[in-house]
């Protein structure tokens, strides 16, 4: 643009109010060379007819070539309707030699119909012996959008600060206050904003164990490092009490200098609610574990009564039947006694099976490994699903409560496999891992959404959810991997915690 002005001074282009030599013809190669190498858009028009356009103008307005732009019927077609009246006024004043803005911002229409903002430097020159308007322009759409965003951001910030229930403080890089709102002062227990301004550094508003973290995150932000934007800390109120809060700290420009914008949210009530919820969850886990153990004790009691009562009576009845049969003459012995003996044998078998279902003696007499092998055999025989068992619990003794819970867990997992998995093979592995036991159950059946079932929804969901809660209470872990088939791994301590050490 400076070179074009120099050409005007040298008499090659006529500027309003000056009587300078002849105007360049369209063939003027030096003018065209200068215009074509310019990074600024240049359009020359007379009576709104476009006479010349350079490549930069075509590119800015979305035309393939300058020639295509020149073929536009009227320069007015490049102007939004609400822009045309102003531009006509400027053009007429220019041609009459009257004062007009030497430079102004306006809008032009892109070929695709969108509007772009441009910085315009208008000029009057002679083109082939007649006056014409030369419009030199630069696309400033990005700048306009940035300014608009800045205005909107300032408006949002103002509305946020004035009406926010959250505390908002602007601190310099030494954490001295530049601006704070009433909610910020109130959250820290100060009567007024003026009282808070007396603090040299707002790092004093945080508990000792959190100050270093707040300072470190701030320094990292100044370096451009990635750090959490929102985190929880303990604030210190004016009276010395602690307020649990979440702070969001961002690096901003405040009146031309870097500053921290700190937004605070009182989390004390949520913290109290979370603590109560955690206590309730632990109570429910404790209750679930106690119910499970009580259930097993009741199963064992019923199994013991069946063994010592019903089965013994049935066995005695069978003995008495044999003695009675021997006392009868041979000719009086018949099929009826054989049928009664078969019924007694069947009843004894069913009672023993029921005992093993309720509380298998093998668990208490031979231990968890043997009980798992027995359970695998029973599962395969009952459901026709191949079941491979590898049980090695080592020689270290296992707390009976852990054995009972792990056996119950395995039994429930196998029930889920039979009901929902459509599996053809199941493998069970029990092994010792230092001072813990690992129980893994894998099937080749249908997978499922592990996250859904662990929240108590979906097929088998509540059962797995209940299992996890009971295990967590004993200090055990419960992991699920489900996709093509399912693997469930339980890792439990060899001994359960004493009651006073449990959550």
Q: Which helix (H) or strand (E) holds 122?
A: strand 115-127
Token output for 40: 């600024």
Could you say which of 266, 299, 333 is where a domain stops? 266
Outline where 126-181 has alpha helix (H): 141-163
Q: What is the CATH number of the domain that holds 114?
A: 3.30.450.20
Distance, CA of 172 to CA of 237 (rounded, Å): 21
Specify the long-range contacts of residues 367-375, CB closer than 8 Å, at least 24 apart: 367/393, 367/398, 367/403, 368/393, 368/398, 368/403, 368/406, 368/407, 368/430, 369/393, 369/430, 371/403, 371/407, 372/407, 372/410, 372/428, 372/430, 375/407, 375/410, 375/411, 375/414
155 located within any domain: no
Same domain, 384 and 352: no
Do 337 and 420 lie in one domain? The reply is no
Spatial distance between the Cα atoms of 382 and 417, rounded to a whole number of angstroms: 13
Encoding tokens for residue 433? Answer: 């891992």
**Which 3 state secondary structure label does DSSP give 403?**
helix
In a domain, 78, yes or no: yes
Residue 215 reports pLDDT greater than 70: yes
Indicate whether 256 and 277 sit together in one domain.
no
pLDDT score of 277: 85
Q: Provide the pLDDT confidence category of residue 1 given band limits of 50, 70 and 90.
A: very low
- List, edge to edge, every strand of the sheet that includes 41-46: 49-53, 41-46, 130-139, 115-127, 104-109
**Domain end marker among 122, 139, 156:** 139
Average pLDDT estimate for 295-315: 82
Q: Are residues 13 and 131 in the same domain?
A: yes
Residue 163 has a pLDDT of 64
List pLDDT tens digits, range 133-166: 999 999 999 999 988 888 888 777 777 676 677 8
Q: Which residue has the higher pLDDT, 106 or 354?
A: 106
Comparing 100-114, 253-267, 319-333, 380-394, which segment has the lowest mean pLDDT? 319-333
Range of the domain at 23: 2-139
Task: Characterize the bridge pairing of strands 242-254 and 257-266.
Answer: antiparallel
Tally of structural domains, the chain: 4
- Please tell me the least confidently modeled range out of 46-55, 311-320, 468-477: 468-477
* Candidate from 40-54, 127-141, 459-473 with smallest mean pLDDT: 459-473
Residue 397, sorted as left (phi over 0), alpha (psi -120 to 50) or beta, turns out to be: beta
Looking up residue 419, the CATH number of its domain turns out to be 3.30.565.10
Could you tell me if 407 and 317 lie in one domain? no
């Amino acid at each position: 643009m400076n070179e074009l002005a120099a050409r005007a001074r040298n008499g090659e282009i006529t500027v309003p109010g000056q009587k300078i030599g002849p105007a360049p013809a369209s063939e003027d190669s030096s003018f065209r060379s200068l215009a074509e190498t310019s990074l600024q858009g240049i359009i020359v028009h007379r009576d709104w007819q476009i006479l010349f356009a350079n490549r930069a103008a075509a590119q800015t307005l979305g035309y393939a070539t300058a020639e295509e732009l020149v073929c536009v019927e009227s320069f007015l077609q490049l102007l939004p309707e609400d822009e045309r009246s102003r531009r006509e006024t400027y053009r007429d004043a220019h041609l009459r030699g009257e004062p007009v803005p030497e430079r102004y911002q306006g809008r032009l229409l892109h070929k695709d119909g969108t509007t772009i903002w441009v910085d315009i430097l208008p000029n009057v020159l002679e083109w082939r012996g007649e006056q014409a308007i030369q419009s030199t322009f630069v696309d400033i759409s990005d700048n306009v959008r940035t300014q608009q965003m800045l205005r909107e951001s300032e408006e949002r910030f103002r509305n946020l600060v004035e009406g926010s229930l959250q505390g908002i403080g602007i601190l310099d890089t030494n954490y001295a206050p530049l601006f704070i709102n009433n909610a910020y002062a109130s959250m820290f227990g100060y009567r007024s904003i003026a009282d808070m301004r007396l603090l040299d550094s707002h790092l004093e508003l945080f508990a000792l164990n959190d100050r270093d973290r707040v300072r470190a995150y701030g320094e990292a932000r100044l370096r451009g490092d990635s750090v959490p934007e929102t985190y929880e800390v303990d604030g210190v109120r004016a009276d010395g009490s602690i307020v649990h809060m979440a702070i969001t700290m961002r690096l901003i420009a405040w009146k031309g200098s870097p500053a921290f914008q700190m937004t605070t949210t009182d989390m004390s009530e949520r913290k109290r609610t979370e603590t109560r919820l955690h206590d309730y969850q632990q109570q429910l886990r404790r209750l679930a574990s106690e119910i499970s153990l009580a259930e097993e004790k009741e199963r064992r009691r019923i199994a013991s009564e069946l063994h010592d009562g019903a089965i013994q009576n049935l066995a005695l009845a069978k003995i008495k039947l044999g003695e009675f049969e021997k006392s009868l003459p041979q000719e009086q012995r018949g099929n009826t006694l054989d049928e009664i003996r078969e019924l007694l044998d069947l009843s004894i078998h069913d009672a023993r099976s029921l005992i093993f279902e309720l509380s298998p003696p093998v668990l208490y007499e031979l231990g968890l490994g043997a009980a798992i092998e027995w359970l695998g055999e029973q599962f395969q025989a009952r459901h026709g699903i191949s079941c491979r068992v590898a049980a090695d619990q080592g020689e270290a003794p296992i707390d009976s409560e852990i054995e009972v819970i792990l056996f119950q867990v395995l039994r429930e997992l196998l029930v889920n496999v039979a009901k929902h998995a459509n599996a053809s093979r199941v493998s069970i592995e029990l092994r010792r891992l230092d001072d813990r036991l690992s129980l893994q159950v894998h099937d080749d059946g249908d997978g499922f959404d592990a996250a859904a079932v662990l929240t108590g929804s979906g097929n088998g969901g509540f059962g797995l959810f209940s299992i996890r809660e009971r295990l967590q209470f004993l200090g055990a872990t419960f992991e699920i991997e489900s996709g093509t088939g399912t693997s469930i791994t339980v890792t439990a301590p060899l001994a359960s915690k004493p009651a006073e050490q449990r959550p």
